[in-house]
Amino acid sequence: RLTSVRAPARWAVGGLLIVLSVSVILAGWRFVAGRSADTPVLAVGTIRDLVTPDSLQLGGVLSEMLATSLGRLTSLQVIANSRILELVPPDASMSRTDAARRAGATEVLEGELIPLPEQRLRFDLRRVDVESGMVRGGYQIVGTDRMAVFDSVTVLIAADLGVAAPTGSLAEVSTRSPIAYRLYEEGLRAFYQYDSYAAHRLFSAAVREDSTFAMATYYAWRSATTIGSNQQDTIADRAVRLASRASDRDRLLIITHVGSTRSDIRVLAAADSLARLFPNDPEALVRAGDAIPDLSHAVALLNRSIAVDSASGVAPSAACRMCDALSALAQRYDWADSSAAVERTLARWSRLRPVDPTPWRMRAEYLVGIGRRNDAEDALRRAASLGATNLMPEETRLAWALRSDDLDAADAICRTQLAVDGGTFLRYRWLCTIALRMQGRYRDALLLVRAGRAPGSASGERGLPADPYNDAILDLEMGRPRLAASQFMRMAEEAVADTQRPPGLKAREVAWRLTLSATASAAAGDTIRVRSLIDSVETIGQRSLFGRDRLLHHFLRGLLLARAQEHEAAVRAFRSAVHSPSQGYTQINAHMARSLLALGRPSEAVPVMQAVLRGGIEGSGLYLTRTEAHELLAQAFDASGQRDSAASHFSIVARSWRNADSVLHARRTAAQDRLTGTTISRR
């Protein structure tokens, strides 16, 4: 029995010692139930609050408090309360104990906070085996302060299980405000029921109650990101600053998750620790897998997350952590240009969750990108049969038309949507500019970008934000590479001068824009400028977590080697520069293919350019249009003697450029001539 000076409030009062009476009730229970030879995996079940009036019930808050306090025991596996809430479906048909069992807990903590005279509290707590229901241990603590009560029970549990006690207090890694706790717990429930707007309101309210509440701030950022709030960067900054006020697991989670979205290279150590210290926490594994660039390591972490979560038997209506992992895994394989692995992962998703339409929707997007339009439409129909809605909005229809080289359909959509002013015009400007560039209609595209004037329109939209990327790309495509190089250099200088951007994102932007400027300089024959930028791109690129940026300097070296007709060395440099064969900087593929053709190795150029056509439209497809990719692929097939394959791609080039500007007439004529020659040879 421990006693000290009494504090006047039931919630913690900083700096005061608290009256506590502590009992470890083990004698009868331990000898009856026995104790497992292995250290248990703990989860917090139902903690009933018999102190607070019914209108302010804080039972869920007490569970969160205890789980956070126990989370400070670094030698003990404790299931996070957020994980329990993930597993409890919206209809609450599953108890917290059932959720704990599914999460992998072997013992669950249950108890009551009971009022005593003179504003004292008694906390009765039991450790219960989740399988047998037998009580493994019990604890009773009397005091006047909730925080101190939870600190004490954590110390007792640590001593009972033979692990190191935590340092500091629960108050240092949580909040002292019961209202903030309650808002946070309600926010978690809303968040895991996919009501992001309600969740954001609740988390924001919790932060207003306690501006130092780290996890409420972190989830306010996550929900702000989901709803597209313009405050998400500010909230992310605050979450990172407050991370030291969270438990080890939560601190690493915040640093890893926020840092990975900001391309912060410093996040790697946190991601490694997160995965190593919490190997059975699905969310920890997903966040670490997202951050770690190495494919094999990331795949292993994501697969483990899937295995852990699938073993929990998640209810169809509950939050699906393994869905996050499966989505990330499919994306990793897509970037690795592994079609078989992507389809295998999506099929696995459908087996694990047969009524989930999401993998079918993703399958449709993937299939249209690899040229299987009919199969993609079948997948969409399957998603619709499982309840998915709004599967083909006009923006998606436009993207599909572009990825299928159906430029007539793309033009029809653009004519309709660009006739609408305001936000609709702006939303479609990007894709419609790409559509015009694919057709070689550079002057129309330039008017759309610079003057907001749609093709065939006499006037343009005013007050539109600039589109510097397409603007500079069009200068390059129209034979003005020096102007493009200058424009990209100005963009790089703007990124350097931006003091508000996080370091990782700043490094990513600067390295990328310098590379684009060097690409244009090489097209202008300015090898001196290219050479002057290589070291800067290499140095700055190393500061970005994004794998592409650390490899870009190899591409610039390859440009110089190709210019010097040293194509063998150039190919090696270009291969070293490839971050993703299909979703990376597709100018690398194009320059590599040209060097391979110059070396008389066209069969090696074929897969290099085929990968480009499996990439996206808005990202990887921005810097090299699909039509140009078809042209190079046709030339590679032609040079390797595969005439039928060459003809199919030459026909796309001829059709796409039938209304092209004069700068492309010679190339279109060459495609038509090869197509005619192919036809004659087949006769």
Q: Write the DSSP string, 216-251.
A: HHHHHHHHHHHHT-TTHHHHHHHHHHHGGGS-HHHH
Nearest to 73 by CA among 175, 164, 168: 164
Rounded CA gap, 418 and 421, in Å? 7
The answer to whether 142 and 132 have CB atoms below 8 angstroms apart is no
In this structure, the number of other CB atoms found within 10 A of the CB of residue 120 comes to 17
Strand ordering across the sheet containing 107-116: 20-25, 135-143, 120-129, 107-116, 42-49
Q: Dihedrals φ, ψ of 124, to 5°? A: -100, 125
The structure tokens listed for 245 are: 């006020």
Q: What pLDDT shows up at residue 312?
A: 63
CA dihedral (651, 396, 418, 421) in degrees, to 10, reads -170
Strands 42-49 and 107-116: parallel
In this structure, the number of other CB atoms found within 10 A of the CB of residue 458 comes to 5
Rounded CA gap, 252 and 41, in Å? 20
Q: Which residues contact 146 (CB under 8 A, 6 or more apart)?
A: 10, 11, 12, 65, 113, 121, 178
Rounded CA gap, 199 and 195, in Å? 6
> Could you write out the DSSP letters of every residue in 592-638?
HHHHHHHTT-HHHHHHHHHHHHTS-SSSGGGSS-HHHHHHHHHHHHH
Nearest to 367 by CA among 322, 334, 318: 334
Q: What pLDDT shows up at residue 570?
A: 98
Identify residue 365 by its one-letter amino acid code: E
71, 400, 423, 672 from 438: Cα distances, Å? 55, 14, 24, 17
Rounded CA gap, 266 and 100, in Å? 34
Please give the distance of CA 538 from its chain centroid, rounded to a whole number.
Answer: 25
Rounded CA gap, 619 and 345, in Å? 23
Rounded CA gap, 64 and 60, in Å? 6
Rounded CA gap, 358 and 362, in Å? 6
Strands 20-25 and 120-129: unpaired
Q: What pLDDT shows up at residue 28?
A: 31
31, 348, 626 from 279: Cα distances, Å? 32, 22, 43
Identify residue 437 by its one-letter amino acid code: R
Q: Which residues contact 106 (CB under 8 A, 6 or more apart)?
A: 36, 38, 40, 41, 42, 129, 130, 131
Rounded CA gap, 216 and 207, in Å? 6
Length reported for the chain: 683
Rounded CA gap, 247 and 229, in Å? 27
- Which residue do the tokens 């310098």 mark? 514
Strands 135-143 and 107-116: unpaired
- Which residue do the tokens 């999506």 mark? 346
Q: Which residues pair with 49 in a beta bridge?
A: 113
Rounded CA gap, 642 and 660, in Å? 27
The answer to whether 554 and 574 have CB atoms below 8 angstroms apart is yes
For the chain, first and last CA: distance in Å?
A: 101
The structure tokens listed for 232 are: 């998400």
Rounded CA gap, 19 and 144, in Å? 6
Consecutive H or E run containing 307: helix 295-311
Rounded CA gap, 597 and 595, in Å? 5
State which residues of the chain have pLDDT below 50.
1-20, 23-37, 55-56, 678-683
- Which residue do the tokens 């339409």 mark? 357
Q: Which residues contact 644 (CB under 8 A, 6 or more apart)?
A: 678, 682
Quick one: residue 133, left, alpha or beta (phi over 0 = left, psi -120 to 50 = alpha)?
left
The answer to whether 656 and 440 have CB atoms below 8 angstroms apart is yes
Q: What pLDDT shows up at residue 82?
A: 86
Strand, helix or coil at 311? helix
Nearest to 678 by CA among 653, 642, 654, 652: 642
> Model pTM?
0.86
Strands (E), 19-118: 20-25, 42-49, 107-116
Q: What pLDDT shows up at residue 107?
A: 94
